[in-house]
Amino acid sequence: MLQAVNAINMHNPASNRVMDISDLKGHLVRVFTDTQSFIKNLPFGQVEADPPEAVFLLSGYSWKQGKFRIWELHFDSNIQKFTFRPVSAWRGQAAEARKVVKFVGDETVVAEAKERLTALLKSRGKIDSGSLDMEPFEVLRDLIREAKHPTVGGPLQFVKIYRHSNVVPFGVYWPDRTSGKTCVLGRPLLDYEKNPWSTIDPDTLEKC
């Protein structure tokens, strides 16, 4: 991830937002593939590096396409390099509805997250109409609190992406507003640190 950040900062069209996010994904794929090719000094007896298992989500607003997009970046062993696949909108939606969401990680957790999101949308009458609000946040919150899956945990990380490509991280009271602390990007703030942005109550979903 640090290499991705550095690659954006060092490439003027990406850092000054002239490059559309649909083109940025190609730049990042090339950076990831090139970086992976430099893996040397393997453990004794190992002939080649193991295929990278890391999966990345790239999301943001495409001014070329006039909508928010999400892509999954992953390593394809068949072509021996990183590539991407677009995340499609939720199927079977009414004409005015638009839902785009993607869970990544442990397959068992991803399957459960999808089931929970579907059940939550059904309970609110939104399975085939309307748009997503904070439902994915609620699903992830409950999965972490239940602590059934060791691959999912820690304070929730929450950011808001704007059409002008700016990203603002929000604080989250974790594990709750009463007994928890303000956490920003997964880290509890120290007593003397101040959160310059809004903070989300994970239960009421209100900004404080």
Integer CA distances (angstroms), 37 to 11, 51, 195, in order? 20, 11, 40
Is the per-residue pLDDT at 15 higher than 90? no
**What CA–CA distance (Å, rounded) separates 54 from 30?**
15
Question: Starting from the edge strand earliest in sequence, which strands make up the sheet with 67-76, in order?
Answer: 56-62, 67-76, 81-86
Q: Are strands 158-161 and 199-200 parallel, antiparallel or unpaired?
A: unpaired
Inter-helix orientation angle 2-10/21-36, to 10°: 120
pLDDT surpasses 90 at 1:
no
The whole-number pLDDT of residue 193 equals 96
Q: Is the peptide bond before 175 cis (omega within 30 degrees of 0)?
A: yes
Q: What is the pLDDT of residue 116?
A: 98
Given this model, what pLDDT does residue 71 score?
97
pTM above 0.95? no
The distance from CA 24 to its chain's CA centroid, rounded to whole angstroms, is: 16
**Ranges of H-type helices in the chain:** 2-10, 12-15, 21-36, 107-123, 135-146
Distance CA 94, CA 130 (A): 8
pLDDT confidence bin for 98, thresholds 50/70/90:
confident
99 band by pLDDT with thresholds 50, 70 and 90: very high
In 3-state terms, what secondary structure has residue 92?
coil
**Residue of 122, 57, 53 lying closest to 114 (CA atoms):** 122
* The two structure tokens encoding residue 59: 């999301």
